[in-house]
Structure 1
């Protein structure tokens, strides 16, 4: 199983950052250049995403912790070369300097090397966190 972690510092309180990213259906709010739409199903436990290329990704909420500001999700359907995908998006206090946001994932590559799939997801996480930071710089 392969894994990767991306982090970013944002000079905004963790509660404010969590208000933007803490909703399982909020990806289009801070990733509009990647995610075109997000629809919830199964009582809010499943989201069906469509990216800007028209690809569909179906993700399932596994764990949600409002108090500690994180959620974990898995992928039921996606065009990615990986299985057994599970990721966590977390917002933490950054020593009085705002927030430290972490997006981590683990997955099993299918038909590609560990490095290829790690680079794919690390790029998605890094680009996503950069987009998130820009929300607070606007």
Structure 2
């Protein structure tokens, strides 16, 4: 199983960051790669579309508002992996004055090498967290 992780330090309180990214349907609020998100099954399934209109369907598998984290699995996506699970987490740093956001995942390459799949998701996570930092900088 392959893994990928990206982190970003933000000069913003963890509760402010979590308010923006903590909703399972909130990706379009901060991630330009995902322009739409529709929740179903009581908010446990999100149906996304990327800019090319390709469908991505994910299932929420764990949510912890106190820990400021959620984990999800991909059910359908145009990515060369299977058995994908990911976690998005916000941690408080510097006595609550700033935060660290970590986006990590594990997956089995399917139609790609482990290095290619790891590079793909590391790139997605890194670009996503850079977009988050930019979004929070403009508020």
TM-score by length of 1: 0.97
By how many angstroms is 1:111 displaced?
Answer: 1.6
Residue equivalent to 1:7: 7
Written as runs of structure 1 = structure 2, the 5 A alignment for 1:40-79 is 40-79=39-78
Q: Deviations over 1:79-134 (max 9, x none)?
A: 10000000000000123350000000000001211000000000000000000001
Structure 2: segments with no counterpart, 5+ residues:
none
Question: Aligned pair count?
Answer: 137
The 1-side partners of 2:98 and 2:10 are apart by 6
- Rounded Cα–Cα distance in structure 1 between residues aligned with 2:94 and 2:52: 39
**Alignment match, 1:133:** 133
Q: Secondary structure at the match of 1:16?
A: helix
What aligned pairs does 1:1-138 form with structure 2 within 5 A after superposition?
Answer: 1-31=1-31, 33-96=32-95, 97-138=97-138
Which whole-Å CA distance do the structure 2 matches of 1:60 and 1:93 have between them?
26
Counterparts of 1:4 and 1:94, CA distance in 2: 22
For residue 94 of structure 2, give the secondary structure of its aligned residue in structure 1: coil
TM normalised by structure 2 equals: 0.97
Gaps of 5+ in 1: none
